Amino acid sequence: MPENPIRKTVTTLADGRELIYFDDADTALGTERAADGRMLDPRPETATMRQDVLTGEWISIAAARQNRAFLPPADQDPLAPATPSNPSEIPGMYDVAVFENRSPSFGPETGAADTAGVGIGRTAPSYGRCEVVCFSPEHEGSFGTQSRSRARTVIEAWADRTEALSALPGVRQVFPFENRGEEIGVTLRHPHGQIYSYPYVTPRTQRLLASIDEVGPDLFDRVLESEQASERVLLQGEHWTAFVPFAARWPIEVHMLPHRQVPDFAATSDAERDELSSLYLSLLRGIDAIYDTPTPYIAAWHQAPVDTHRDSVRLNLQLTSPRRAADRLKYLAGSEAAMGAWIGDVPPEKSAELIRDGIAKATA
């Protein structure tokens, strides 16, 4: 155990939502936490999912999300520590804070939703939970702008929340992610990510399970071996390797894999979390150094479903950006958006070279 370990404090907001503080190992904060003194409206009712009978996919119709904040000024930042003029979601100063989303896509109720099978007109409750992960009390930034100590705290929060959310009734998959940049659709400039807990196994993961069933349970071992032998490797440590995948769809696309089979963040070791905090920062800062302005991205941490394929689905990062030049974005055309038939604009080997140059520039 470190001399000054990451500290966790659990409390509640005025409407009963859970708020969890994670203090850096080298924190300057004390143990006292301010109470939430707001008068809040009752939480919205759990939304309803509808099934698309043509694909079998479930769509959550979460109308309460229409009310969420949209690019507010810094003095009205809902993720900043609260002040008398800004009664925000977090009552006081913090290092990292996690709380239940006020306008969730899934939840606040949890339970087992009947999602098996396909049929016309099928509905089910949008059971689950959505949480916001605040990386810093600062008004602007991203994961990549944090210190090594802070990055390690966020990773600890991901691991803690993955374990807790996986234990909730009916949750079948837990998904930590960060959306960065207004080009991606970000509505808050505050450095933050989210964690979704789904009542079903997501479509992307269902396709992965089908590939594992066809190729074999050692699929990720074989992918890692192939990628490590390629010219697309970006960063490699004792526990993790980052690379541009063989069949990259996006102009900037990076995957990162642990070297052993771990289904999710909760299963990672302290040594793996320590190394990740350094490698991940190097990767994100390198991507930002490619151009003169920060690069928009979605950083998606794929984890094994809660109840299946735990020994074959491996925790992995899939980071994608539509940025194909300093002043150009890739927009999904008809073949991609309508048919899911992708056309890559940049050869993956060229993309890997570009990203390696960015990493070298960021660390110079």
Three-state secondary-structure class, residue 169: coil
Q: What is the DSSP letter of 340?
A: -
Whether 355 and 254 have beta carbons less than 8 Å apart is answered as yes
Angle subtended by helix axes 203-215 and 219-228, to nearest 10: 90
Cα 104 to Cα 163: distance, rounded to the nearest angstrom: 20
* Cα 302 to Cα 15, 120, 208, 256, distances in angstroms: 31, 30, 11, 10
Q: Of 190, 192, 239, 255, which one is the catalytic site residue?
A: 192
User: Any catalytic annotation for residue 302?
Assistant: no
- 340, burial (CB in 10 Å: exposed 0-12, middle 13-18, buried 19+): exposed
Cα 326 to Cα 269: distance, rounded to the nearest angstrom: 38
* Cα 279 to Cα 82, 226, 273, distances in angstroms: 33, 20, 10
| Peptide bond preceding 137 in cis form (omega within 30 of 0) | no
Cα 23 to Cα 3: distance, rounded to the nearest angstrom: 14
Nearest residue to 99 via CA among 36, 30, 29:
36
Nearest residue to 13 via CA among 115, 91, 120:
91
Number of C-beta neighbours around residue 229 at 10 A: 9
Cα 253 to Cα 105: distance, rounded to the nearest angstrom: 26
Catalytic residues, which ones? Answer: 192
